[in-house]
Structure 1
Amino acid sequence: MSTLGSSELILNPDGSIYHLNLLPKDIATTIITVGDPNRVSMVSKYFDAVDIKKEKREFLTHTGSYKGKRITVISTGIGTDNIDIVFNELDALANIDFTTKKIKEEKTQLDFIRIGTSGSIQPDIPVDSFLLSSKAVGFDGLMHFYEAGQVRNIDLEQQLNQFLGWKSHNIVAYAVDSDVSLAQKFNSNRIRFGITVTNSGFYGPQGRSLRLPSKVSDFNSKLAAFSYQNLPLTNHEMETAGMYGLAKLHGHRAVSMNAILANRATMEFSKNGYKTVDDLIKYALEKIVS
């Protein structure tokens, strides 16, 4: 087994992983991801105790216990470029020996639960509802940099790309499913299911126009008209497809829980966004320990 080079596995002087500033002992096997660093304390305030608090750049980590279960919550920042950093470095913390710089023979499986905000593109999905991403399609391009065919939903990709016909715009989606067994833990009559669209930006890549016109004028209506196996494309965000792809490639489990704060079809935005996110946090924590 070859030794990883110092330019590949980059460690800080204290032995922590480069971007996250964490040591292997600092993380639990159940990890909640949030985009906003301020949302980390929204989660950890419900912990019985917080043992680890570390941060570097936009990556803030709290590890503690909730009803006796050890849980890590970490902020990823926005976008799948950050997901690439966070998921590769969390996997390294679990599955690479930092002393020998060799991959461990016995692997540790991690569970990732995203608690994030999102905007619906279907008029019948109201603001302040909860949605679990059964599948995700990525317009960000991250999975095109990995040998990922074995974890992608090729049939969904082909049907969606054919339906959209956006190849001439250099827009080609990839698709990855959630982990079914982990998703089952979060099921209830409060949860809607759908196919989440992961975008490379917030404005043009989600069909928004302020001063710059969007290249695809019917962006959201075209997406909203597609369905796969009776599941429509339901919502926009910026991390889920990358999460699902990297988790599956590493042998981990991932699920994305979305607090719907906007409805692009009806042009509504939540008046109770903080409460909606807080309610989703409490819901997710209870399901994790149930």
Structure 2
Amino acid sequence: MSDGAQVRWTALGDTARRPPVVMLHGGPGLPDYLDEVASLIADLAPVYRYDQRGTGRSGWQGPHTLARHVDDLAELLDAWGAPEAVLIGHSYGTDLASRFCLKHSDRVTGMLLMCGPFVGDWRTGERAERRRRMSEAQRERLRALEEVPRRTEEQEVELLTLAWFADHADPERGWHWAARGARRRRPVNWTMNRELGEAGRADPLDDHLAELRACLPARTELLGGCQDPRPISSLASLAQRLAVPLTRVEGAGHEPWLERPDAVRAHLRRFVRGALGGADFDR
């Protein structure tokens, strides 16, 4: 990067084709985890993924700012020789994609926002739903682990599993996926999470929705799991405010490709074909 930081990225598919698809993972503070999703569309276009600075194999001590993360994406596109790209963001990655579009709308040919961004007072509903999905013992254990100043490896895995299993519609399989993610999506950069969280609250995306609507690419869509503890009604409200379509995936939570892989695969392929100017169907 222009400030000397090193960012690790990977590509799948024929990188000579243009425009590419760029996948933006969530967190903030997690390494990239969208390999399963990238493989669903890599035959249609090259797919780039990267560990956002401070995560995975991308080193950086901070401080972290939303503007710096937007600039990182612009510099990566330059490094890849891609004047434009189709952006697919998940969770926090949808906020990053939206903020990138606000600054570089001429470089975005299509944008699919999966399970975010959430605007308005969505946290009240999320907290209530998470409380409903967890037992009192689980809630107490999570609170206790959050208060441990220096957690062991096993304590960190337990904390993340407790924090993430309620993201899924199926609690039994959700526990399995959360436990797997708690070991693979590591380490978590909690400082980055805090700093970007504070930055987002200081400059909420809510305040830029009219501007965002005006600069969105023609091919912009939202997708969300109906059983995500984050209320689907918030995404529905956002879709209305941005005048873009929302696809609701029944029986799926915050990572719908795990619980409804066929439905998500079909939607992603249809979206990418449309964003690339191809036929609006899958083979």
**TM > 0.5:** no
User: TM tier, shorter chain?
Assistant: 0.3 to 0.5
The structure carrying a bigger strand percent of its residues is 1
TM-score (norm 1): 0.34
The structure carrying a bigger helix percent of its residues is 2
TM-score (norm 2): 0.35
Of structures 1 and 2, the one with the larger relative CO (CA 8 A, separation 6+) is 1
